[in-house]
Structure 1
Amino acid sequence: MRQAGWRSGRLLTTWLPVALVLGLLASGFAVYRWDLDERWFGASSSSTPPDPGTEPAAVPPPAGVTLPAPTAPAAVASPGADVGRPAPRKLARLLDPLLADPDLGANVVAAVADLSTGRLVYSKGAKARPASTTKLLTALAALHVLGPDHRFVTRVVLDGTGKQRRLVLVGGGDPYLAGKPAPPDEPVYPHRADLRTLARKTAEALTASGVSATRLAYDDSLFTGPDASPQWEPSYVPTGVVSRIRALWADEGRPESGSGRVSDPSLTAATYFARELRAAGVLVRGPLARRVAGDGAEPVAEVESAPLSEIVERMLTVSDNEAAEVLAHQVGLAAVGEGSFAGGVRGVRQALTELGVPVGPDDVWYDGSGLSRADVLTPGLLLGVLRAAAAADRPDLRAVLAGLPVAGFTGSLEYRFESTPPDARGHVRAKTGTLRGTRSLAGIATDLDGTTVAFVLMADRVRFARSTVAQEALDAAAAAIGGCHCSVGAGR
C-alpha cells in the first residue's frame, strides 16, 4: 500500500504542473487563433484605433523618440567542447569505493562507456558470469536478423490423402502463443495469439467445406536438438524453473493452473486445441499424433503473434527465460538454418559480428537466456550491444533499449532502488541478471548533467547469504552513475 500511495502521489506531483502548462498553452492557442481569425477574415475594423492594452506593438512611439531595431540577445555562455562527456576521474572516485564492497565477492567486473562515442571511461575486471544480461545479446540479434515487424505464425493445415488425411496443428515458434484470449478486463501486452481463436477459425473453414469430423496431429518440428540445454542445471526442467523449449506450446509450457511446467508442451498445446475444436462443433476422432506436415499441405487457418519488437520489449522487461530461448532458436533458424540451442548461439554470434559488436574469445555462452552457469561474457561485449541498440542509423534495434526496466518503476527493477538516492530513479534503465552466486546489471544511465552512458556491473562470486546486500550494492553503484554530476566541466 505504501508503494501505491507513493506512486500515486508522485504521479500527481509530476503531472499537475504538466497539466497546468498544457492548459496555459491551450488557452494561449485559443486566444491566438481567435485573434488570427479576426485579422484574417477582417472581423475587426481597421479604422478602430489600437488598444494599448491588447496591441502594444501597434502603438507608435512618442514624438521625437527613436526606438532601436530589435536584435537577437547574445548567448549567456558558450558550451565548451567537453560538456556532455563523462569524466573518468569523477566516475572512478564515485565507483571505486562502492565496488570494493566485500559483499560483492572476489570477482567484480564493471565498465562504463560514453554511449555516443563508445569511449571507455571506467573499467574494472575482465569477465564474469552474466546471468540474464545474456538476454540483451538475444534481443539485439533477433531484431537484426528477423526485423522488428516480424510476426510468428501458428497454422492449421490439411495434410495427406484418403484415410491418411489429417488436420495438423503446426507450431511456428511463437513464444507467447496462449491457450485462450485474455479477458477483456485484463488486457496483456503484447497481444497474444491463442489456440481458442485458431480453433474457431479452423471450425469455420471446415464447416464451410462441409467437413464436420477429422483426425488431428501436431507438428513441432521447426526446432531441433534437445529441448533443454545440456549446459543447464539438471534440476531446472524437473523443478519447473524453465519449460522444455518447443516450437509449439501454449502459455510458455505452463499448465492452466499457472503453477509449474507441463512435461510435454507440444502435446499439451495440441490437447488444448482439440478441446477447443470440439467446443466449436468439430468432431475430433482418434488419438493425437505427432506428424510433420508436408510442403503441399492445404492451408486452413492461422493466427499470428504481436510484432517482434513488442515481444523483445516484454522479454527484457520481465526477464522471460522461455521467450528468450525461443527467440534464440528463431535466430539460429534464420541465420544458420538450425533452430536449436547450438544453432541459436551460432546465429546470435554471427548477428553480433555483422553489427560490429566486439565478440572475443573470452565471450562464451550456451543459451539465449543466461540460465547456464557456464556462460561467461566480457563487459565490452555487453557495452557493444547497448551501443548498437542506440545507433542513430538503426532505429529497428531500439526495442532493446525500450525493453530495459526503469529503476524503481518497471519490470524486474520495479521494487528495487528504494534505498538509493531518489535522483537515480528514472535515470537508470538496466537489464538485471540473477543466478545463485551471481548478480549483474547492464544498461544505460543519464546523469544529472544530461550525459548518457552505457554501463555493465557484474559480480559472480557472491556468497549465498549475502545475495540481497550484493544486489543492493550493485544498485547503489548504478544509482551513483545516474545520480551524479559526472561530466567533464560540470564543476561539481
Structure 2
Amino acid sequence: MVLVLALGAGGVAAWRTGVLDDAAREVGDRLAALTGDPAPGPDDPSRVPPPDGLDLPDLDEPAPVAAEADPRALDRAAVRRTLAAALGDRDLGRHVVAAVAGLGDGAAGSAPVGLVARGRTPAAVPASTTKLLTAVGALSVLDPATTFETRVVRRGSTLTLVGGGDPFLARTPAAAEGAAYPRRADVTTLARRTAAALRGTGAGPLRLTYDASLFTGPAVNPSWPADYVPDGVVAPISALWVDEGRPASGVGRVADPAREAADVFAAALRQAGVAVQGRPRRAQAAVGADPVAEVSSAPLPEIVDQLLQVSDNEATEVLLRHVGLASGGEGSSAAGVAGVAEVLRDLGVPVPVRQLDGSGLSRENLIAPETLVGVLRAVGTSAEDSPLRAVLGGLPVAGFTGSLALRFDDVAPVAVGGVRAKTGTLTGVSSLAGVAVDRRGTPLVFALMADRIREVDTLDARAALDRAAAALAACTCS
C-alpha cells in the first residue's frame, strides 16, 4: 500500500493513530483542567483552538489521492505492445509464447492476454514452471498440516525401516549453525530413538529390512532423457531415501536410494548400540508389526516453499506421488499427473496439452502459457487463509532469492524485488511464470515461454525473459 499525504497552501492535514488518540485525550484533559471548558474529543480536531497570534485559513476538502484501483482493468493493448517489444529479442529463438492476466475474476480480467510472438504453436515445453502445477495439486488434495513420517516397526527379531515419502529426509542432524530450511528429519536421530525404545527390552541381535513400497510405478520417468539417471541429473524417485538420493559426498546420485538409506540407518543403529545382523534387505513391513520410533518432516507448505525457491526436481516428484496417493490411491507418477489435472479442472484452469511428470524434466511436456497464468491467478485470488497461498511465498524474488537471486541484473530497477517468478530451464528451453506489479500498482500474473533457443544463446535468452518480465513491472498496463 502507498499512502500519500498532501498539504496544500495553508492547508492542514492530520493522521490519527492509536498513539495520537491517547495524546489528544491527555491534552484535552489538561485543557479542561486549566480552562474549565469541555475538552474537544479526538474525533473533532477542528474544535482545538489555534495558539494565540496564529491565523490559519479555512481547511479545504482535499481531492482524493487516486481512484480505487481495479486489478481487473487490464489495458490489453498496452500489454501487447509491451510484450511484443520485449519478446522480439532474436536470442529467444523461433518459438515464443506468452500470456498475461489481472487477478480479478470479472469480465475485464477473465481472459488472459495471449501472445504468440514467434512460431505457430500456442503451447510450449514448460521446463520447471511445471512445478507450479504440482505445488497447487499437492496443496489442494493434502491437508496443509500434513507431514511425512519415516517409521521403524518391529516383529519378533526383525526391525523394518518404513519410508513415508519424506522428500528431505537426511542422513544426519543439521549442525546448529548450518540448519537447513525447511527443518529436516534424519535417520541418525531415528536410530537413536529406536535404540532408546529398545533399551531394556532384552532384544538380542536384530535383522533389519526396509520398506519403500508406498510409491509404485517406474522410479525413473519413462519420458526423461535416458542419460538423466546415470549422469546424476536426478535420482530414482523413492518413498525412502536420504539426502534426495545423493551419496555421502553430495556429488551425483545413488542407483538405489532406498538401500542407501537402509545402510545409513543400519550404521547409525550400530553406533547407537543396537546389534544388527548383516546387511539390510528389502521387504514389506509385517502386518501388525509393533511401532518403535519415527521422525517427521516439515509441514507441507514449507516443503512447497523450498521446492519452488530452488526448483527442486526430486522433492517435486515425491510430492507428485503423494498427489496420486491422495487423489487416486496410487503413489505413481501417472496417478499424480491425473490428480493434478483433476485439481486444475476443479479450479477452472485449462489442463496441460500434455504433462508426463511433476518437475518439468520431461521435454515431452507441453503447456500453454494460459495454463500457468490460470494457476497463478487461482493462487492469487484464493482466500487469505487458503493453503494455496504458500505458492506465492515460494516464488523467487527477482534479484534476491532462490533461482532468481543472480538474475535481473540488467533490467528496469522497478523490477528488482518487484517481480516474483518461477523459472524453467532446459537445454533450448527457458520460461518464467510469476507476478509483477505495474506502475499503477496493479498486480499482473504472467507466463513467458521460449522452447527453440540455440544453445549458444542460452544465457542471452534467459536475460531477455528477465527484461520482458521487468517491462511488465515498468509499464502502465492497467
Counterpart among 144, 150, 163 of residue 148 in structure 1: 144
Residue of structure 1 in register with 2:89 after alignment: 101
In structure 2, distance between residues paired with 1:59 and 1:139: 57
In structure 2, distance between residues paired with 1:83 and 1:262: 49
TM-fit CA distance, 1:34: 7.5
Tell me which amino acid in the other structure corresponds to 1:390.
Answer: G
Q: How does 1:38-437 map to 2 (within 5 A)?
A: 47-49=33-35, 73=61, 75-76=63-64, 79=67, 85-117=73-105, 118-124=110-116, 126-159=122-155, 161=156, 165-211=157-203, 213-359=205-351, 363-393=353-383, 395-437=386-428
In structure 1, distance between residues paired with 2:266 and 2:65: 72
In structure 1, distance between residues paired with 2:25 and 2:293: 57
Residue of structure 2 in register with 1:439 after alignment: 430
Q: What is the aligned-residue RMSD (CA, Å)?
A: 2.9
Residue aligned with 1:229, SS: coil
Q: Deviations over 1:214-268 (max 9, x none)?
A: 2111100111121101111110000100011000000101111111111211111
TM-fit CA distance, 1:309: 0.3
Deviating beyond 3 angstroms after TM superposition, the runs of 4 or more aligned structure 1 residues are: 28-39, 44-52, 55-63, 70-75, 80-84
User: Do the aligned partners of 1:50 and 1:58 also contact (CA within 8 Å) in 2?
Assistant: no
Residue aligned with 2:113, SS: strand
User: Do the aligned partners of 1:427 and 1:447 also contact (CA within 8 Å) in 2?
Assistant: no
Change (3 A) 1:45 1:289: same
TM-fit CA distance, 1:103: 1.3
Change (3 A) 1:336 1:438: same
Residue aligned with 2:67, SS: coil
In structure 1, distance between residues paired with 2:412 and 2:179: 34
Counterpart among 481, 485, 488 of residue 472 in structure 2: 481
In structure 2, distance between residues paired with 1:59 and 1:114: 46
User: Do the aligned partners of 1:177 and 1:193 also contact (CA within 8 Å) in 2?
Assistant: yes
Between 1:339-348 and 1:140-149, the stretch displaced more is 339-348
In structure 2, distance between residues paired with 1:46 and 1:374: 80
TM-fit CA distance, 1:433: 0.4
Tell me which amino acid in the other structure corresponds to 2:81.
Answer: R
Tell me which amino acid in the other structure corresponds to 2:141.
Answer: V
User: Do the aligned partners of 2:71 and 2:102 also contact (CA within 8 Å) in 1?
Assistant: no
Residue aligned with 1:434, SS: strand
In structure 2, distance between residues paired with 1:315 and 1:80: 36
1:452 aligns with 2:443: yes
In structure 1, distance between residues paired with 2:18 and 2:374: 46
Residue aligned with 1:441, SS: strand
Change (3 A) 1:74 1:59: closer
- Unaligned 5+ residue runs, structure 2? 1-16
TM-fit CA distance, 1:80: 7.4
Change (3 A) 1:136 1:60: closer
Residue aligned with 1:196, SS: helix
Q: Deviations over 1:114-146 (max 9, x none)?
A: 122333234325000000000011000000011
Residue aligned with 2:372, SS: helix
Change (3 A) 1:331 1:31: closer
In structure 1, distance between residues paired with 2:245 and 2:313: 12
Residue aligned with 1:185, SS: helix
In structure 1, distance between residues paired with 2:438 and 2:450: 23
The alignment of Structure 1 onto Structure 2 pairs a total of residues equal to 445
User: Do the aligned partners of 1:152 and 1:174 also contact (CA within 8 Å) in 2?
Assistant: yes
Change (3 A) 1:59 1:380: closer
Residue aligned with 1:333, SS: helix
Q: How does 1:19-30 map to 2 (within 5 A)?
A: none
Residue aligned with 2:79, SS: helix
TM-fit CA distance, 1:315: 0.2
TM-fit CA distance, 1:427: 1.6
TM-fit CA distance, 1:78: 6.5
Residue of structure 2 in register with 1:18 after alignment: none
TM-fit CA distance, 1:349: 1.3
Q: TM-score, normalised to structure 1's length? A: 0.84
Tell me which amino acid in the other structure corresponds to 2:398.
Answer: A
Tell me which amino acid in the other structure corresponds to 1:154.
Answer: T
User: Do the aligned partners of 1:88 and 1:122 also contact (CA within 8 Å) in 2?
Assistant: no
Q: TM-score, normalised to structure 2's length? A: 0.86
Change (3 A) 1:33 1:229: same
In structure 2, distance between residues paired with 1:304 and 1:401: 25
TM-fit CA distance, 1:45: 10
- Unaligned 5+ residue runs, structure 1? 1-27, 488-492
